[in-house]
Chains A and B, each alone.
Chain A
Amino acid sequence: MDVLVGIGSPDESVAALERSARQAAATGDDVTVAIVGDHTAEARERLAADAAAVADDAAIEISVRQVEGNPGSQLVDIAEDEGFDELVIGGGSTSPMGKITIGSTAEFVLLNAHTTVTLVR
């Protein structure tokens, strides 16, 4: 299965990648990581390094690409254009109170993707 994992923030999305990496190690899924969002070049490099470290830990190969533009629509477009089977994203952060909030990227992806979407908590 071809899996596209969207990564836009260190705290929220590394869990999504870790889950996909574990699954890929077990099933042989092909994992592509898309780094999305409004980041500096250094921040993008750090996210790419985080992704590489997770892949190393799980002993899988991944491909990483930097994606500019609106995160939600870019992820949906790539998943559709390139025939991915599943789109995996971080499933929301929690407020100081402990309330789960779903960000605009997750909302856009859920409403617009034609592929299966997995939200990872």
Chain B
Amino acid sequence: MNSDRRYPEAISGSFPTPPLSFDDKQGREIEIRPYDGSEAEYEALAEMYVEFDPEDRAQGIPPGKESRIRTWLDGILADDCYNIIAWDGDVAAGHATLVPDTNGDHFELAIFVLQDYQQAGIGTSLIESLLGYGKSVGITKVWLTVERWNHPAVSLYKKVGFETTGAENFELEMAIRIGEAE
């Protein structure tokens, strides 16, 4: 991706740092915590993506087939990435991730919420918690792309402080600054 990506001048904040828990709009107790690297959490995530409605895929992710889901997860759950999971008991209801660019000082964000758990406030909590988690480990610049017709996602990103930084392609590019540059 282009290395001359633009970021807002102003630093957004303040975001909560996981682990945290709350009751969603359906009254389910949801806990958000960083991915612990265990096989059990990996398998719960794989299961969430196998269940994922293809209609909610964005720009080819999550992939459709289980084998490709696992290859994709291996990439984004690597040691240089930051992942948090929203749990309903032992069911992974949502997942958000920060994946470094090749030059390593900015991170691409993505967030997925399982269909049964959408529109319950989990997405907002997940993204705020992920930015809080990122900030706590020293990340300052986060970007994403989103399909321009995906209005619910675009308004969620705006609500937490993302600004549109690129609008010349099919996808909107948005970015946020969450800490002082070193």
**A73 interface contact, C-beta 8 A:** no
Q: Which of chain B's residues have a CB closer than 8 A to the CB of A100?
A: 59-60
User: B3: which A residues are within 8 A, CB to CB?
Assistant: none
| Range class of the A interface residue count | 10 to 19
Which stretch (B14-22, B44-52, B100-108, B150-158) binds chain A? B100-108
Contact A97 B61 (CB under 8 A): yes
* A94 to B75 CA separation, bound complex (whole angstroms): 13
Cβ 8 A contact of A107, one of B58, B72, B102, B169: B169
Residue B176 CB within 8 A of the other chain: no
Identify which of A97, A101, A103, A104 contacts B99 (C-beta below 8 A). A97
B110 interface contact, C-beta 8 A: yes
B41 contacts the other chain (Cβ, under 8 Å)?
Answer: no
- For B58, what are the chain A residues with a Cβ–Cβ distance below 8 Å? 99
Name the contact of A94 in the complex, choosing from B60, B100, B110 (C-beta under 8 A): B60
Per-position 1/0 for B90-115, Cβ under 8 A of A? 00000001011110000010100000
Interface residue? A27 (CB, 8 A): no
Q: Which chain A residue lies CB-closest to B68?
A: A98
Task: Give complex CA distance A114, B89 in Å.
Answer: 54
Q: Which of B63, B102, B168, B170 has the most CB of A within 10 A?
A: B170
Give the distance in Å from the alpha carbon of A97 to the alpha carbon of B81 in the complex.
10
Chain B residues near A96 (CB, 8 Å)?
A: 1, 99-102, 108
Interface residues on B, range: 20 to 34
Q: Decide yes or no whether A40 CB sits under 8 A from chain B.
A: no
Asked if B140 is an interface residue, CB under 8 A from chain A, the answer is no
Asked whether B76 is an interface residue with its Cβ less than 8 Å from the other chain, the reply is: yes
Taken together as a complex, chains A and B put the C-alpha atoms of A102 and B59 apart, in Å, by 9
Q: Check A102–B100 contact: CB distance below 8 A.
A: no
> Separation in Å of the B33 CB from the closest CB of chain A?
21
Name 5 extra pairs, CB < 8 A, besides A96-B102, A98-B63, A102-B171.
A95-B59, A96-B1, A96-B100, A99-B59, A102-B170
B interface residues (Cβ-Cβ under 8 A, vs A): 1, 58-61, 63, 72, 75-76, 97, 99-102, 108, 110, 145, 168-171
* Pairs A–B under 8 Å by Cβ, sample size 22: A93-B1, A95-B108, A96-B99, A96-B100, A96-B108, A97-B76, A97-B97, A97-B99, A98-B60, A98-B72, A98-B76, A99-B110, A99-B171, A100-B60, A101-B59, A101-B169, A101-B170, A101-B171, A102-B170, A102-B171, A103-B169, A107-B169
